[in-house]
């Protein structure tokens, strides 16, 4: 595979907002990616490009989200901070769940730009929640507060070693990717989750114990590809007993390649 032929996948940035008390990059906004998700995408041979936010008081030039969407072949929405409840018409139940409104606006602008040119999008954790909200869905601000008889979906001590079981919905594309598999083990690193599913998507997997939506996919096959998981596929390790996420990555990249070829036709 040559550099020219490799797929170019955009990866949304995480934000560390300007903090005058920080001893390094004092008062500066940092945008970054977590290494594991970049390496997960690169394991397929694709190239990964972080998409920095092109707006702000110190912007130079005329680069826009649309320019990145035209140049790149697909987009992966990174995990990270809570969503701002105002994004789905609610006030924060507690101040600590106020989320990151700036990043919400950035992510939604990315989604809009890539969708406008028919480029596939895959979301991870926050990415699943962002896609749901961007298309009219809502979230639980805190699962343990709002969902009776639930369990701890995010454990600060065990972090990516916090696991639970997920049921795959028969007849979905996800079930086709894992034929004969009804239940899988995944990591759980979130305290928010889908409350009202957007009409744009169908649920492809649910948490066994409390019914939290764990995977979604766009319903209309005539629209551009969108799929997402609540778990972090990039954190799963071979031999850990968790789902092999290679089929998910390949499904996304196959859609990316198809969209790229179609645009050339």
Long-range contacts of 217-226 (CB under 8 A, 24+ apart): 217/172, 217/173, 217/174, 224/114, 224/115, 224/118, 224/119, 224/120, 224/121, 224/259, 225/120, 225/121, 225/252, 225/255, 225/256, 225/259, 226/115, 226/120, 226/121, 226/122, 226/123, 226/131, 226/200, 226/201
One of 200, 202, 204, 234 is an active-site residue; which one?
234
For the chain, what is the largest distance between any 2 Cα atoms, rounded to a whole number of angstroms? Answer: 54
State the residue for tokens 């995944």.
186
Active-site residue, 53 included: no
CA angle centred on 210, ends 208 and 214, rounded to 5°: 65
Active-site residue, 204 included: no
Burial of 156 (0-12, 13-18, 19+ CB in 10 A): exposed
Which residues are CB-neighbours of 171 under 8 A, at least 6 positions away? none
| Structural Rg of the chain based on CA atoms | 18
Active-site residue, 234 included: yes
One of 153, 190, 232, 236 is an active-site residue; which one?
232
Q: Measuring CA to CA, which residue among 255, 250, 265, 248 is closest to residue 221?
A: 255
One of 53, 125, 190, 202 is an active-site residue; which one?
125
Per DSSP, 135 falls in state T
Task: Report, as residue numbers or ranges, the catalytic residues.
Answer: 125, 232, 234
């Amino acid at each position: 595979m040559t550099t020219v032929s490799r797929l170019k996948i955009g990866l949304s940035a995480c934000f560390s907002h300007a903090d005058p008390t920080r001893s390094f990059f004092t008062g500066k906004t940092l945008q970054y990616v977590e290494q594991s998700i970049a390496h997960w995408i690169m394991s397929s041979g694709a190239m990964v490009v972080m998409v920095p936010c092109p707006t702000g008081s110190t912007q130079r030039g005329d680069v826009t989200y649309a320019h990145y969407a035209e140049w790149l072949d697909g987009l992966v929405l990174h995990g990270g901070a809570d969503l701002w409840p105002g994004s789905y018409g609610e006030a924060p139940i507690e101040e600590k769940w106020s989320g990151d409104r700036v990043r919400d606006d950035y992510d939604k602008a990315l989604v809009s730009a890539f969708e406008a040119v028919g480029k596939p999008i895959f979301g991870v954790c926050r990415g699943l929640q962002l896609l749901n909200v961007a298309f009219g869905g809502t979230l639980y601000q805190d699962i343990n507060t709002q969902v009776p008889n639930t369990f701890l979906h995010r454990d600060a001590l065990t972090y990516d070693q916090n696991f639970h079981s997920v049921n795959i919905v028969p007849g979905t594309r996800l079930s086709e990717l894992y034929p004969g598999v009804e239940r899988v083990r995944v990591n759980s690193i979130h305290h928010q989750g889908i409350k009202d599913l957007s009409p744009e998507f169908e649920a492809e997997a649910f948490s066994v114990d409390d019914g939290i939506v764990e995977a979604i996919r766009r319903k209309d096959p005539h629209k551009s590809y969108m799929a997402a998981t609540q778990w972090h596929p990039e954190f799963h390790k071979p031999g850990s007993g968790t789902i092999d996420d290679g089929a998910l990555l390949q499904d996304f990249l196959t859609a990316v390649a198809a969209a790229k070829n179609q645009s050339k036709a």
